[in-house]
Amino acid sequence: MASVEETLNAKTQLGSGLADGVNTISGNETIIFTLYVKLILPLDGYVYWVNASLLTDTAIYNAAQYNYSEFNNKGDVLPAKQLSVKGSFHYNTEMHQLEDRTVAYNHLMFTTPQLVKDFNLVSPNLIYVASYEQQKFSFSRRENYYRQADMYHYRGDSLYSIMNTQLINSMTDFDPNSVVVSNSLPIWLTLNQFFPMYPSYLVSQNITPPFASVDIPASSTTALQQFPLVDSESNPYQLTKDTVKISIFGLRNHDALNFVQYVFQYSLNTDNIGMMNMPIIQDEKVTQPEFGIIAMKKSITFEVSYYQTTVNNIARKLIESAFINLNPI
């Protein structure tokens, strides 16, 4: 008698026919997926993905913060550095002519008769990337699954050309000692006594509050002096202004007020930033209709002055204090 697992994994008659069709259409093609590990630059929170072949097993193990081996039927301690998956590609291309670039967006759907468990079980710090017809791609969602058909559809866009710098296949392509941003973001990332601070659009996946994101619109960064001061070593000191929106999840009013006072005290003690407004805590509404609730979200907008060279100095100190803790397997 077949086990429950064998029964669940067995192909239906429809699924077997569709699997044969996919294999025929694709010519039994096998796609190789390569494991990449997330690397966050501690200077300013920029995200890079590093080819796992460049890293030690210990670094990969630490990146797999969820107990991967618990869910891996093979009992492996580490996720595979490469996966071979049979399947078929469908994609379409859209050309966009924009102000600063002309780019082709390739929307991909990968259809396979097998569930690729590794796509679902690895931590947010790991991702699988494949190459197909000179395109690098990964997936943002799985969709249109129907049990009787037993086919899996993974959808996503190929890597945009302007994002090529964020995939590291050689450590000579990565400079850990230079800040990327030109605004006051590195200063705000150091103000993490109360909760983790993340750059906007780079907040880690599905984290539990409290945490905060820092958003500095590009148009808000303006000069406060006619010309930068240049010292004897040719370092420019440009007095600059930013409008900074801090979005916080998980705080009550008392803790939010304490955070504002914490920022005021930092400004007073260090003179790295100067206050140009009186920030007010505002309650914002983020809803989830399935539960009829709203999130504990607050926002605070600061207008600050600072020297851009000061930001570079702070970033330099931050990278010097960012050590990696390794746990032996």
Structural contact between residues 273 and 189, judged by C-beta atoms closer than 8 angstroms:
no
Q: Tell me phi and psi for residue 328, to 5 degrees.
A: -65, 145
Structural contact between residues 152 and 112, judged by C-beta atoms closer than 8 angstroms:
yes
| pLDDT at res. 302 | 97
**Alpha carbon of 193 to those of 66, 90, 115, 153: distances in Å?**
25, 48, 42, 43
Tokens encoding 124: 């947010």
Q: What is the CA radius of gyration of the chain?
A: 24
Q: Does pLDDT of 71 surpass 60?
A: no
Q: What type of residue is 97?
A: Q
Mean pLDDT, residues 222-246: 87
| pLDDT at res. 222 | 94
Residue pLDDT, tens place only, 137-163? 887 655 554 454 456 777 778 888 888
| pLDDT at res. 309 | 80
| pLDDT at res. 64 | 72
CB half-sphere exposure, 28, CA atoms < 13 A: 0
d(C-alpha 206, C-alpha 219), whole Å: 30
pLDDT band (50, 70, 90) for residue 220: very high
Q: Tell me phi and psi for residue 56, to 5 degrees.
A: -80, 160
C-alpha of 273 from chain center? 27
3-state secondary structure 76-127: CCCCCCEEEEECEEEEEEEEEECCCCEEEEEEEEEEECCCCHHHHHCCCCEE
d(C-alpha 266, C-alpha 137), whole Å: 43
Q: Which sequence spans correspond to the domains of the chain?
A: 4-173, 185-320
Structure-derived torsion over alpha carbons of residues 150, 156, 158, 160, reported in degrees to the nearest 10: -170
Residue pLDDT, tens place only, 271-328? 999 999 999 999 999 999 989 999 999 999 999 999 888 676 776 666 555 444 444 4
Q: Does pLDDT of 214 surpass 80?
A: yes
- Lowest mean per-residue pLDDT among 3-17, 52-66, 83-97: 3-17
Structural contact between residues 146 and 134, judged by C-beta atoms closer than 8 angstroms:
no
Structural contact between residues 47 and 124, judged by C-beta atoms closer than 8 angstroms:
no
d(C-alpha 31, C-alpha 241), whole Å: 49
Beta pairing class for 236-237 and 281-284: unpaired
**Alpha carbon of 314 to those of 11, 22, 41, 96, 246: distances in Å?**
58, 55, 14, 39, 19
pTM above 0.75, yes or no: no
